[in-house]
A and B are shown apart, each in its own frame.
Chain A
Amino acid sequence: MSYILALHDIRDRHRDEVGGKGFALARMAQNGLNAPDALCVGAEAYRLFVEATGMREQILMELNRKPFEEMRWEEMWDISLRIRSMFLNVPMPVELHGALSRSLDAAFQGEAVVVRSSAPGEDSSKTSFAGLHESYVNIKGTEAILEHIKLVWASLWSDRALLYRQELGLDVETTAMAVVIQKIVAGELSGVIFGQSPNDPSLAVIEAVYGLNQGLVDGTVEPDRWVLDKKTGLVRSHHPAEREKVVVPAADGVRLEALAAEERSRPPLDQDKIPKVFDLCLKAEKLFGSPQDVEWTFKDNVVFVLQSRPITTASSTESEDKRPWYLSLHRSFESLKALRNKIENQLIPGMVEEAQTLATVDLGRLSDGQLAEEIERRSAIYERWVGVYWDEFIPMAHGIRLFGQVYNDAVRPEDPYEFMKLLGDDEMISVKRNRILENLAAMIRGDGQLADALRAGKGFGQSDGFHNALDEFIDEFGDLTCGTDQCTQGRDAMINFLLEMAAREPAKASARPKELEALRHQFFSGFEGERRAFARELLDLGRASYRLRDDDNIYLGRVKAQMDRAVDEGKVRIKAPRRINSDDLQAEDVVRVLKDVNFVPEKTQLVKKEETRLEVRARQLVGQPAGPGIGKGKARVIDQLSDLMDFRAGEVLVCDALDPNMTFVAPLSTGIVERRGGMLIHGAIIAREYGLACVTGVPEATKRIQTGDEVTVDGYLGIVVIHAVD
């Protein structure tokens, strides 16, 4: 069979082969709707590619590292990144390359095209998963088109598609992807018409923007909206947008520009064009027999149909379905720039100020009732910032992913995570904190008398320098033990930790090799002219995203420390006179005791760790490789924050979810194992800073591994070996 079909050659029997989008375009073209010329690369080409190159099994191995239900979205993103990198780096078999090249050369002769996904089932009438797979606009030249066909194929395994794998019926053995190559129509204005409003079936809705549709589709350009009567096509209402930007074709891809002044004040559609769009929608509905979402564009007053798919109402309404939230984490460059601005100039200063203001309150002078109210107030403040963290800070991390994708496209490195090396140039607060801790440890290491005095609990002796430095540290970073049950021990726990640090060789954040400059050069050389400025801006955004991802937790930790400070003050007050063992009390119980002298809290019990059974033991656990290296030592399982204070140099840190406020022990460790998965989690970030072996996404890590187990962390392969106690 032919790997590639023109729209007019596509028949009913080709439906599965060309996918929903390709088939719909063919039917519209064959029935007189004005669709741009296009070719369809059939699913057979995809099958040949993954079969002949061995990619199918590689995809299977990636997807089967661990059960899907135990995979976090971040791990799916990592898997997608690795699969995408394979598609980029594996050349097309000669036979396939030749067959596709001949057809593409003949059809387009260097003209710009859009390369669109056309996955089977993507646009079925039961479900619609528009946007799960990729499309690329303004691609010129046969080789470039072939490369983008591979990228569209790779998007069959995008993180978004993996999230909806069950609905899509994704199966590595059988699922394949067709691709539509469509001549680009550089329309002056574009949009989408929804043949039936989701809220009212008697209405249709048009959304329109100036320029290309991409800005509307990815949310960077706000559209004007018209609501039409479905029967008559008459406009019921018009909702103008704040027209500011426009997406236009650029030398390579598309570019977001400021909209010309005259267009800002004029809606993109007028009374002549609205009926043309509506007519297009009715024709598509008649042809396909059901209401359609139709993408269209106007060029020289002629309307073109770009694609049409059935309207679906079967969207997930389950409140527990978090997938729409994960999808919302995919942010465009423009959206991330705006978000960064908000975080750096508004949110972080706000959080810092909040913590500073709270720190000035002399809690000791408050009455019990006032203290109770202060605890409640601080809890509310903290909760509010936690909300900000989820809504604003977590989406910012997508800047790292966006940079990674652009880097991999430009450089095509063998290691799909090579881009991470370029992101860590700025010192994160957690690393600065650890550097100062190291300085304090060095003071102890270099002063035997001080070390002896501290060990004997005799204070600081003659060393005012150490005393002052520790004060300064606590002023800036707070008491690290706060939030643990040792907070009330004041400096003693901190000093014990520093003594432990001083007892071993100083750790250093991994030196930035000189190759960084070469990597940077390599990246920038993949861009020319205005694209290079974009590359610089994107690298800057990626670095900010990387730094903020860690730093924002530290700032949040400062607010939390102020909440904990008030709770701890409450615990101290109720402990002595009321003889209540307040150590393990939650904040709300402390508040109740402070307010009500007769209230006696139920004895809180820590959830006891499940007893280890001898029968089943893990010997080798597979997670995701997140920090290259080998680390060997005794495991220290962190079940609660206070376990950090027991950490000994040379141990392997095993935890459920590491927070930057906990990573001060990282320099003492020889490796990090975390249950949470992903390349961007804090354990992985701090491990890379110190060149530590790190494996993330290890199911039940803290249950399978016991404190004291001898373990080897293989950060190259993502494996943790638990050695037998023979």
Chain B
Amino acid sequence: MKDTEALKTVIKDLFALENLAVIATQREGQPFTNLVAFSATDDLKHLVFATTRATRKYANLMADSRISMMIDNRQNQVSDFHKATAVAAIGRVDEVKGPEKADLMRLYLSKHSHLKAFATAPTCALMKLTVERYDVVSRFQNVMELWMTP
């Protein structure tokens, strides 16, 4: 349990400080990356972000829900090599619909209140990433995995 809690703390601390993440989707084998604003549920099982439905990332995710999302605290300095932590979340994405949407939207806007008009627009979808595992990279090359589903 100690290991798990320690790793969860590292992830939560990082998520508390970072607003943006890079997501990777794919279409016909061609990877595609984007920046998104994200929020995480307290149990770290889900990450949410918003996108308009006309985007390539939305189309890609509708065709293949597999996703990787990276959150890191690099400062674009040389010191990043020993100081930075990067977390990759691997899992699948669904568009949030139904009763859970209100809660997840509240969660999302509590961190990104300035995106209210964007996230609540009829053309915008709230996406929920269900995390299978986190890869936590620290000290340049130390990699630990936190599996959310055994």
Q: How far is the CA of A613 from the CA of B140 in the complex (A)?
A: 25
- B146 to A622, Cβ gap below 8 A? no
Contact with A along B1-15 (1 / 0, CB 8 A): 101100100000000
Answer whether residue A320 sits at the interface, using C-beta atoms and an 8 A cutoff: no
Name B144's contact: one of A63, A616, A717 (CB within 8 Å): A616
Answer whether residue B150 sits at the interface, using C-beta atoms and an 8 A cutoff: yes
Contact with A along B90-102 (1 / 0, CB 8 A): 0000000000000
Answer whether residue A512 sits at the interface, using C-beta atoms and an 8 A cutoff: no
Chain A contacts for B143, CB-based, 8 A:
618-621
- B150 to A617, Cβ gap below 8 A? no
Chain A contacts for B139, CB-based, 8 A:
64-66, 622
Name B82's contact: one of A60, A615, A621 (CB within 8 Å): A60
Answer whether residue A57 sits at the interface, using C-beta atoms and an 8 A cutoff: yes
Query: What is the interface size of chain A, counting residues whose CB is below 8 A from a CB of the partner?
Result: 20
Q: How far is the CB of A277 from chain B (nearest CB, A)?
A: 49
- B79 to A616, Cβ gap below 8 A? no
Q: Which residue of A lies closest to B150 (CB)?
A: A614
Most buried by B among A60, A65, A615, A622: A615
Among A600-620, those with CB < 8 Å from B are 613-620
- B4 to A615, Cβ gap below 8 A? yes
- A616 to B3, Cβ gap below 8 A? yes
Q: How far is the CA of A249 from the CA of B19 in the complex (A)?
A: 64
Chain A interface SS verdict (over half)? mixed
- B141 to A620, Cβ gap below 8 A? yes
B interface list, Cβ under 8 A from A:
1, 3-4, 7, 78-79, 81-83, 135, 139-148, 150
Chain B contacts for A54, CB-based, 8 A:
78
Answer whether residue A559 sits at the interface, using C-beta atoms and an 8 A cutoff: no
Q: Which residue of A lies closest to B134 (CB)?
A: A616
- B146 to A616, Cβ gap below 8 A? yes
Chain B interface SS verdict (over half)? mixed
Q: Which residue of A lies closest to B77 (CB)?
A: A57
Answer whether residue A576 sits at the interface, using C-beta atoms and an 8 A cutoff: no
Q: How far is the CB of A416 from chain B (nearest CB, A)?
A: 19
Answer whether residue A248 sits at the interface, using C-beta atoms and an 8 A cutoff: no
Name A616's contact: one of B78, B141, B142, B147 (CB within 8 Å): B147
Answer whether residue A61 sits at the interface, using C-beta atoms and an 8 A cutoff: yes
Known: A54-B78, A616-B4. A621 touches B142 (CB 8 A): yes
Q: What are 16 residue pairs bridging A and B, where the CB atoms are less than 8 Å apart in the complex? A: A61-B81, A64-B83, A64-B140, A66-B139, A66-B142, A613-B1, A613-B4, A615-B4, A616-B4, A616-B144, A616-B147, A618-B145, A619-B144, A621-B142, A622-B140, A717-B141
Q: How far is the CA of A65 from the CA of B141 in the complex (A)?
A: 8
Q: How far is the CA of A613 from the CA of B78 in the complex (A)?
A: 36
Q: Which residue of A lies closest to B148 (CB)?
A: A615
- A619 to B145, Cβ gap below 8 A? yes
Known: A620-B141, A717-B141. A614 touches B78 (CB 8 A): no
Q: Which residue of A lies closest to B141 (CB)?
A: A622
Q: How far is the CA of A64 from the CA of B4 in the complex (A)?
A: 22
Contact with B along A48-74 (1 / 0, CB 8 A): 000000100100110111100000000
Answer whether residue A719 sits at the interface, using C-beta atoms and an 8 A cutoff: yes
Q: How far is the CA of A615 from the CA of B6 in the complex (A)?
A: 12
Known: A616-B144, A622-B141. A61 touches B82 (CB 8 A): yes
